[in-house]
Amino acid sequence: MSQAVILVWVSVTTGSAAPHVGEEPTPHARTVTTFDYTTSATPSQRRAITAWAQSHLLSIAAPATDAATGPRGYDSGVVERIEELLEQARVSAGSLDDALALEQLALAEALIYEHPELPQAGFLLAEAAAQQAPIVEHAGQARLAQIQRLRAATLEGERVRPYAAATEVHSTSSDARGPNAGSRDVTVTGLATGDTLVWNGSPIAARRLTVPIGEHHVQVLRDSSQIWAGFLLVHDADREIRVPVAPPAPCSRADLSVASVRRDHVIGSQRVRCPLWAIARPAAGKGIDVALCRRAECGSLMNWQEGFGEPLVKPLHEAHPWRLPSWAGYVAAGVGAAAATSLILWQSGAFDDPEEQPRSFTFGGIEE
C-alpha to C-alpha distances, 348 to 343, 344, 360, nearest whole angstrom:
9, 6, 18
Q: What is the pLDDT of residue 359?
A: 55
Q: What is the pLDDT of residue 98?
A: 95
Phi/psi of residue 25, nearest 5 degrees: -75, 160
Report residue 103's pLDDT band, with 50, 70 and 90 as the boundaries. Answer: very high
Condensed to tens digits (0 to 9), the pLDDT of residues 105-157 reads: 999 999 999 999 999 999 999 999 999 999 999 999 999 999 999 999 999 86
Q: Are strands 240-242 and 183-189 parallel, antiparallel or unpaired?
A: parallel
52-61, 269-278, 318-327: lowest mean pLDDT where?
A: 318-327
Length of the chain: 368
Write down the mean pLDDT value for the chain: 75
Question: Is residue 34 over pLDDT 60?
Answer: no
Q: What is the pLDDT of residue 283?
A: 86
Q: What is the mean pLDDT of residues 183-198?
A: 93
Phi/psi of residue 136, nearest 5 degrees: -70, -30
